[in-house]
Amino acid sequence: MKKEILMTEEPLEIRAGTETEPAQISGYAIKFNTETKIGGYFRESIKPEAVADDIQSQDVRALWNHNSDFPIGRTKNDSLKLEKDALGLRFTITPPDTSWGRDALESVRRGDVSGMSFGFFVKADKWSQQDKPLPLRELLEIELLEVSPVTFPAYPSTSAKVRSAEEVLSEMPLPPAGVNIDADKRQREIEILEMEAKS
């Protein structure tokens, strides 16, 4: 299993701190049964059963921009709270009183950072065509590793620990007759993603 990254464009919310309560970042990390087009090559959707009902009891981190040097929450100490509901997986992060924790709150408050991503292992998935040009990949079971407010949410991403675009695309079923996949365009997109990952 290799780590994958998926983004959501759901709005992030800030709850201002008070004298007795710290400031928090909240929103949805995952929306269930919502199709996302991945690079124009396939669609992806996460089923409700993909996320464990006891997700809060698992050791999940909140990171700033997927950077493990800048943790901003963790389920084990309740600074990251995860709640599964009918819509998806909702999170509440209580960032630490550190330079990057304060920066995270201010960047989200100003709207400089407005995306959300999460890192996970796929334990079970299913591919189907469903009479549409783009194949559908349904995620049936995942192991959630981390959630991250991000500056530039993107999928797929490449690095030593993150599954590359080429690997994900290689699992696509063959397109049906009459559907033209531009191989040169696909290769250019993969090269761009790899350059971004190295920068």
- Rounded Cα distance between 4 and 115, Å, is 16
Give the confidence band of 195 by pLDDT, cuts at 50, 70, 90: low
pLDDT higher than threshold 60 for residue 182: no
Global confidence as pTM: 0.75
Cβ–Cβ < 8 Å for 165, 39? yes
- pLDDT at position 16 is 80
pLDDT higher than threshold 90 for residue 141: yes
pLDDT higher than threshold 90 for residue 176: no
Least confident among 12-16, 101-105, 173-177: 173-177
- Rounded Cα distance between 193 and 120, Å, is 19
